Amino acid sequence: MTMWPGRLMTRLLTGAGARAELYSLLSVDECLRRLNVATDPPGKLFGSKPVVGQLRAGSFRGHQRIGYRNSFQTHAVVLLTAEETGTRIRCRFGMHPVVIAFMAIWFTGVALIGGPITIAILAGISIWPIRTSHSLPPQGAALVAPAMLA
């Protein structure tokens, strides 16, 4: 499947990550009850349950509890739909939307600032090849802006 740039950016900004669809013989209410037993609310400082998240009618949003801060941690968005003999569970996994938006802004800034600097340095190599003993050579300076992306 060909991914057009606009569609790719939309997927990146909306956090459309890995998807999974499961089926359980339990009812939606029983699935939500079991999730509730294993979930602490997001603002709880000293929780002991393995999952941190929010439960709503027919949906869940959360992540695994870890003992440190990780902005790139995988988050799950789960929709529970009643079926004739059980529950259909649709899951989407990816980074938190705020982290995705921050990264889009950050890399846009790096490209908008670093790109012209790199072009100016590369243009300056052919125009002004003078180097003092304590400065970075123009060829090395040209690598600084692209290195910011690494």
pLDDT of residue 54: 92
pLDDT of residue 47: 86
Predicted confidence pLDDT, tens digits, the chain (150 residues): 455 555 555 555 554 578 899 999 999 999 999 999 999 998 888 888 999 999 988 899 999 998 888 988 999 999 999 999 999 999 999 888 888 889 889 888 888 887 887 777 777 665 555 555 566 666 666 666 667 665
3-state secondary structure the chain: CCCCHHHHHHHHHHCCCEEEEEEECCCHHHHHHHHHHCEECCCCCCCCCCEEEEEECCEEEEEECCCCCCCCCCEEEEEEEECCCCEEEEEEEECCHHHHHHHHHHHHHHHHHHHHHHHHHHHHHHHCCCCCCCCCCHHHHCCHHHHCCC
Query: pTM of the prediction?
Result: 0.63
pLDDT of residue 25: 94
Domains contained in the chain, CATH given: 15-95 (3.30.530.20), 99-147 (no CATH)
pLDDT of residue 69: 86
